[in-house]
């Protein structure tokens, strides 16, 4: 459907003002409806997913680069320890080792803080009197293996197992990476669940108005881009209302139980992480919502929506798995590809915020995602105008050639 005259086009509202009118109309209608109360209760059914989320979190933490043991023994003993490690590594679950200079054992704090080397503990002293420095949990789990390797390096079990002196420290790079990976996974899962729960609302709303012919009246009065933008932002505002209510309840539970203490503070800090999480939720919602909105505009019935939305739902799952895999190696080609792909970019950047302190990549990513939202919405609106508002066979052109000649005869 097109404008009747240039005067009608000039009488239309500007794009963003028309989008504001649509957004305000939809937001008020949904917020004051009885169905909104049932919408708020819906997330309670997702509590059962928390067990699976915890399993995924543990798997992601285990997939992070394994911490290594820095061997700072005297040169001859260091070589003997490495030979014993090479002989028993195929039989036992031993940590990876790196032989360093013996004098570096006195500077264990520097070794444990080295991001590039990812040491979980430092072995100093001698084979007869080994000294293990690291976090309390790490050195306690490694002490038995270190004693076994030290005895093997001295000639076997006949020499006896030496007593390993434990020197616990506050934290290491390896423990910090594992903790940040757990926080990143928790944020990624929460973002995925919220997007899956809330993004599908835009389809049912548009299909209902399309069935009532309301969408044709709106398209005749304002630009179709404004209708799409208005509906997307109205649903996003409704989602933020739900998140505010759910977040208040969850915050009360967190304060009462202290669950947040189990998660390491993200690399950018909790305030910045919370702000970035909300921003990336908005981008993820608008991106996948624009796809769902296009599907809803093209589907003639609600049954067709369910069939046509299946590929988009599968795409969401693939995006989630891509971001979960990419977060284990920040800066790798896979992680950069996940950041560049618009649909997975919000998820990958939430994981990056938990593990990397730099803020400028988030500004670039948000700008790229905003641009992608505009492109997706305009493409969906143009597709709706061409395929739905102007549906039907084109008028036949006068035929030419032998086929047209026989048809006339």
For residue range 134-155, what is the model confidence (pLDDT) as tens digits?
Answer: 877 788 888 888 888 888 888 8
Q: What is the dihedral of CA 172, 174, 179, 181, to 10 degrees?
A: 150
161-175 as b/e: b if 16+ CB within 10 A: ebebebeebeebbbb
The vertex-135 CA angle with 353 and 160, nearest 5°, equals: 145
Q: Which residue has the tokens 């919220």?
A: 194
Cβ atoms of 200 and 238 within 8 Å: the answer is: no
What HEC string does 3-72 produce?
CCCHHHHHHCCCHHHHHHHHHHHHHHHHHCCCHHHHHHHHHHHHHHHHHHHHHHHHHHHHHCCCCEEEEC
Q: Which residue has the tokens 């284990």?
A: 328
Q: How many CB atoms lie within 10 A of CB 268?
A: 20
Joined tokens for residue 122: 């430092």
Confidence label for 275 from pLDDT (cuts 50, 70 and 90): very high
pLDDT for res 246: 80
Instruction: Give the C-alpha distances (Å, rounded to integers) separating 240 from 9, 191, 363.
Output: 34, 13, 21
pLDDT for res 346: 93
**Where do the structural domains in the chain lie, given as residue ranges?**
6-61+176-389, 68-171
Joined tokens for residue 330: 């920040």
For residue range 336-375, what is the model confidence (pLDDT) as tens digits?
Answer: 999 999 999 999 999 899 888 889 999 999 999 999 999 9
pLDDT for res 345: 93
According to DSSP, the residues that pair with 70 across neighbouring strands are 98, 122
Which are the contacts of 39, defined by CB distance < 8 A and separation ≥ 6? Answer: 201, 242
Confidence label for 259 from pLDDT (cuts 50, 70 and 90): low
Q: Which of 198, 178, 196, 210 is nearest to 61 (CA)?
A: 178
Cβ atoms of 232 and 206 within 8 Å: the answer is: no
In whole angstroms, give the CA distance from residue 213 to residue 24: 20
Joined tokens for residue 207: 């299909």
Cβ atoms of 161 and 151 within 8 Å: the answer is: yes
pLDDT above 70 as % of the chain = 73
- Checking if the pLDDT of 57 tops 90, the result is no
Sign of the Cα pseudo-torsion (332, 333, 335, 340, in order) = positive
In this structure, which long-range contacts are made by residues 84-91, counting pairs with CB atoms below 8 Å and at least 24 apart in sequence? 84/149, 84/150, 84/152, 84/153, 85/149, 87/152, 88/148, 88/149, 88/152
For residue range 166-214, what is the model confidence (pLDDT) as tens digits?
Answer: 888 756 556 667 777 778 888 888 888 888 877 777 666 666 666 666 7
Give 7: exposed, middle or buried? Use CB within 10 Å, 0-12, 13-18, 19+.
exposed
Confidence label for 6 from pLDDT (cuts 50, 70 and 90): very low
Cβ atoms of 218 and 227 within 8 Å: the answer is: yes
């Amino acid at each position: 459907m097109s404008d009747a005259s240039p005067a009608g086009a000039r009488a239309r509202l500007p794009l963003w003002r028309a989008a504001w009118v649509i957004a305000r109309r939809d937001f008020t209608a949904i917020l004051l409806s009885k169905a909104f109360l049932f919408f708020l209760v819906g997330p309670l059914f997702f509590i059962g997913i928390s067990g699976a989320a915890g399993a995924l979190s543990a798997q992601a933490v285990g997939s992070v680069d394994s911490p290594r043991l820095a061997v700072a023994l005297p040169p001859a003993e260091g070589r003997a320890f490495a030979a014993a490690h090479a002989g028993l590594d195929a039989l036992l679950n031993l940590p990876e080792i790196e032989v360093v200079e013996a004098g570096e054992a006195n500077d264990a704090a520097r070794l444990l803080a080295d991001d590039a080397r990812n040491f979980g503990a430092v072995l100093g002293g001698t084979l007869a009197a080994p000294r293990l420095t690291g976090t309390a949990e790490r050195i306690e789990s490694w002490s038995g293996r270190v004693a076994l390797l030290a005895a093997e390096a001295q000639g076997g079990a006949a020499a006896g197992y030496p007593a390993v002196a434990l020197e616990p420290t506050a934290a290491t790079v390896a423990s910090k990476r594992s903790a940040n990976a757990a926080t990143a996974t928790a944020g990624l899962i929460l973002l995925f669940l919220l997007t899956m729960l809330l993004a599908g609302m835009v389809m049912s709303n548009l299909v209902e108005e399309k069935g009532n012919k309301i969408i044709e009246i709106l398209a005749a009065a304002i630009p179709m881009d404004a209708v799409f933008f208005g509906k997307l932002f109205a649903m996003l505002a409704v989602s933020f209302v739900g998140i505010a209510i759910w977040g208040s309840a969850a915050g009360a539970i967190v304060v009462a139980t202290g669950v947040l203490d189990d998660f390491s503070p993200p690399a950018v800090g909790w305030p910045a992480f919370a702000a970035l999480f909300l921003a990336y939720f908005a981008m993820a919602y608008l991106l996948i919502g624009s796809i769902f909105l296009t599907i809803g505009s093209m589907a003639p019935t609600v049954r067709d929506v369910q069939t046509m939305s299946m590929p988009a739902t599968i795409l969401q799952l693939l995006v989630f798995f891509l971001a979960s895999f990419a977060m284990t190696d920040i800066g790798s080609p896979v992680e950069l590809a996940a950041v560049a792909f618009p649909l997975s970019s919000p998820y990958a950047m939430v994981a990056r915020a938990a593990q990397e302190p730099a803020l400028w990549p988030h500004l670039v990513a948000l700008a790229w995602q905003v641009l992608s939202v505009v492109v997706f919405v305009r493409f969906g609106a143009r597709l709706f105008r061409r395929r739905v508002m102007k549906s039907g066979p084109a008028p036949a052109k006068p035929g030419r050639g032998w086929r047209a000649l026989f048809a006339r005869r």
